[in-house]
Amino acid sequence: MDAFTTLNGLVVPIDRANVDTDAIIPKQFLKSVKRSGFGPNLFDEWRYLDVGEPDQDNSGRPVNSEFALNLPRFSGAQILIARDNFGCGSSREHAVWALHDYGIRVVIAPSFADIFYNNCFKNGVLPIALSADEVERIFKEIDANEGYQLQVDLAAQHVTLPSGEVILFEIDNFRKECLLQGLDEIGLSLQHADAVRDYEAKRKQEAPWLFAS
Amino acid sequence: MMLKSTLYDKLWNSHQVRETDEGASVLYIDRHLVHEVTSPQAFEGLRMAGRKPWRADSVLATPDHNVPTTDRSKGIEETVARIQVETLDSNCNEFGLTEYKMDDPRQGIVHVVGPESGATLPGMTVVCGDSHTSTHGALGALSFGIGTSEVEHVLATQCLIQKKSKNMLVEVNGRLRDGVSAKDMALAIIGKIGTAGGTGYAIEFGGEAVRALSIEGRMTLCNMTIEAGARAGMVAVDEKTIEYVRGRTYAPKGEQWEQAKVAWLELHSDDGAEFDRVVTIDGATIEPQVTWGTSPEMVLPVSGAVPRPEDEADGVKRGNIERALAYMGLEGGQAITTIKLNKVFIGSCTNSRIEDLRDAAAVINGRHVAASVNQALVVPGSGLVKRQAEAEGLDRIFIEAGFEWREPGCSMCLAMNADRLGDGEHCASTSNRNFEGRQGQGGRTHLVSPAMAAAAAIAGHFVDVTQEPKATKSEEV
């Protein structure tokens, strides 16, 4: 997995609450058996005016020129900001793959859906929960300032505004360490293999029906 | 004094292998359900790392999202969908995993197949790369959806690194009125606590009205937990649970059955156990529910009227209402019963079990789907549900009324196969998500119970099913 340490990036605003994973990557693109190539179809139904299909050349499709990702001032954004409950709905990790493939490495919102939040950490994407007031303020500042950038420092748990003001964010220590070092979580889990075997032996005594095949 | 535990505490504690240095838990997974959409990249990851499944016998796989619900004798027409289903077949063959393939009579929606086969048992931890895995909590299991990286993690290690959630109790007291179902209860709860109301919690459903639900009704309720933001929903084990499990393919037999029963009857919250949050609802006040917007929390009783944006003081919320009304093609203040339907879908992991089909069929009562409804689908949840329904003659009732009777799968719930809404079409759907484009780009979904969907199919618009004449009952007298 990609490590994440610091980022100084342009911010694109998606001014909606309850942005669901169906919107982030619509169902027709889930038929892929790969992890990559989802970026051109990120927010497909909001971004384009026609109906997208998998394996299509997206370069010639009619775009919704009002959608934030299509505005020249947000081209190359690496940070996305949205409202409450971002990533709700389906567990599809393809949503995070699509964000990452597009170039988004940080998502800021007042709150996230649990499964999406968890999936971010498996893919080197940092979800940052800030208060609704802080998010509102950043939305306003983006509106007023072309080329609006934020600095994110995971080790320090800082988001630094263009004014130099620092906002602290919370993050679970285990997830933070995995992300900072880009650790293979399966490898980490396999360090517990003996404990898992002991557990299985004990459970086979207590509840043998759980091991009948 | 013994510490009083919630059901969730008990399930969590009995599966915690150890705590990590960072304060997370290594949680053991008993049952891993697998489908074709969220697994190919996980198997590929295993292969790349030279790893094998830790416990192949913990896996049960079945294709459901992409499968056609029409004649399957010619296979899957669409190439990418066919490749995905074939990839599941070859991965299961390669790693020695049990799979109910597309042509197997036991194939179906993974959340219908799990409980039906006894692969899901009380007291288990159950995961699947699918958010509606919460369904299995109906049996007193700890079940939740995971992403593809975690699918790979469970395949490789039989464990997940997890932080425990907080405990929430949703108590539905009193009795549901006739014609009001578990689906209405679920939607009413989401309407009350919101789609993020359960975020960070595991929800236990209790109270008289929940205990009165059948196990299938409890599955519908737990299925929608994720729509309230909670990954896991559950109901305590009681005699109904035991009777439901008895005799199923993977249920314990003989001496182990007796031993299991004793253990399972402990799967309830202790008297006086503390919850971080308690929500109480009077079941008798719940009316049949209909969603009007693009989030499951945008829901009203069928007697209600679509909200007017100008009545909402909060700017962000007003914007959400305006955007939802524009997408749904509705006017603020419009009565729910004036919403006209183009399509009707009875199916999905929420409402495609035999009792759901019986509920829908009972409403038809010799009548026909309205001429203005251009398609009404019934998609049973599994091959076994389909066979049972046919044995009861339900297929004839649906077909004679003008419904299409299909093969099992996820179908129009998320429109990955050919079953979908056209741009601007309104659909009365027994599924779980009314997101923009969920059932087809530009499609307009209204979530309802099976009985409400059937009644809407016949009227061509929403009607209050509790006010419908129930001639099937009087004929029996």
Q: How far is A205 from chain B (nearest CA, A)?
A: 11
Assess whether pLDDT exceeds 50 at residue B475: no
pLDDT for the residue A1: 78
| Domain at A6-182, CATH class | alpha beta
Please answer yes or no on whether A199 and B17 come within 8 Å at the CB atom: yes
pLDDT for the residue A213: 63
- A22: nearest CB among B22, B147, B438: B438
Assess whether pLDDT exceeds 60 at residue B1: no
pLDDT for the residue A14: 97
Torsion B171-B174-B180-B182 (CA) sign: positive
pLDDT for the residue B477: 33
Assess whether pLDDT exceeds 50 at residue B49: yes
Torsion B401-B406-B409-B415 (CA) sign: negative
Torsion B441-B446-B450-B452 (CA) sign: negative
Are B161 and A189 contacting, i.e. CB atoms less than 8 angstroms apart? Answer: yes
Please answer yes or no on whether A195 and B26 come within 8 Å at the CB atom: yes
Assess whether pLDDT exceeds 60 at residue A37: yes
Lowest mean pLDDT among B69-73, B302-306, B312-316: B312-316
Contact of B174 with chain A, judged by CB distance below 8 Å, is answered with no
Q: How far is A174 from chain B (nearest CA, A)?
A: 6
Q: How far is B476 from chain A (nearest CA, A)?
A: 43
pLDDT for the residue A159: 98
Are B286 and B178 contacting, i.e. CB atoms less than 8 angstroms apart? Answer: no
pLDDT in tens, A6-20: 999 999 999 999 999
Assess whether pLDDT exceeds 50 at residue A145: yes
Q: How confident is the model at residue B22 (pLDDT cuts 50, 70, 90)?
A: confident
What percentage of chain B carries pLDDT values higher than 90?
Answer: 94
Contact of B326 with chain A, judged by CB distance below 8 Å, is answered with no
Residues of chain B numbered 185-204 and touching chain A (CB < 8 Å): 195-196, 199-200
Are B24 and B161 contacting, i.e. CB atoms less than 8 angstroms apart? Answer: yes
Residue B467: partners with Cβ closer than 8 Å, 6 or more residues away? none
Phi and psi at residue B232, in whole multiples of 5°?
Answer: -125, 135
Please answer yes or no on whether B147 and A45 come within 8 Å at the CB atom: no
Assess whether pLDDT exceeds 90 at residue B235: yes
pLDDT in tens, B175-225: 999 999 999 999 999 999 999 999 999 999 999 999 999 999 999 999 999
Residues from chain B that touch A94, judged by Cβ atoms under 8 A, are 148
Please answer yes or no on whether B231 and A90 come within 8 Å at the CB atom: no
Nearest of A56, A135, A127 to residue A87 by alpha carbon:
A127
Are B64 and B55 contacting, i.e. CB atoms less than 8 angstroms apart? Answer: no
Which tokens in the block code for residue A14?
């998606």
Assess whether pLDDT exceeds 90 at residue B227: yes
B163: exposed, middle or buried (Cβ count in 10 Å: 0-12, 13-18, 19+): middle
Phi and psi at residue A100, in whole multiples of 5°?
Answer: -65, -45
Assess whether pLDDT exceeds 90 at residue B138: yes
Please answer yes or no on whether A22 and B159 come within 8 Å at the CB atom: no
Mean pLDDT of chain B: 96
Q: Which of A15, A45, A115, A175 to mutate to test the interface with B (most CBs of B within 10 A)?
A: A115
Are B146 and B160 contacting, i.e. CB atoms less than 8 angstroms apart? Answer: yes
Q: How confident is the model at residue A184 (pLDDT cuts 50, 70, 90)?
A: confident
- Taking each helix axis from N to C end, the angle separating B110-117 and B215-223, rounded to the nearest 10 degrees, works out to 150
Lowest mean pLDDT among A126-135, B368-377, B415-424, B443-452: B415-424
pLDDT for the residue B349: 98
Query: How would you list the strands of the sheet with B16-19, edge to edge?
Result: B16-19, B25-28, B159-162
Mean pLDDT of chain A: 96
Residues of chain B numbered 342-381 and touching chain A (CB < 8 Å): none
Assess whether pLDDT exceeds 70 at residue A21: yes
Residues from chain A that touch B130, judged by Cβ atoms under 8 A, are 90-91
- A91: nearest CB among B22, B147, B316: B147
Which letter, b or e, does each residue of B371-393 get, where b requires 16 or more Cβ atoms within 10 Å of its Cβ? Answer: eebebbbbbbbbbbbbebbeeee
Are B228 and B197 contacting, i.e. CB atoms less than 8 angstroms apart? Answer: yes
For chains A and B, CB pairs below 8 A equal 191
Are B140 and A86 contacting, i.e. CB atoms less than 8 angstroms apart? Answer: no
Q: Is B245 helix (H, G, I), strand (E, B) or coil?
A: helix
Assess whether pLDDT exceeds 90 at residue B14: yes
What residue spans in chain A does CATH classification 3.20.19.10 cover?
6-182
pLDDT in tens, B448-474: 999 999 999 999 999 999 998 764 443
Which pTM was predicted? 0.96
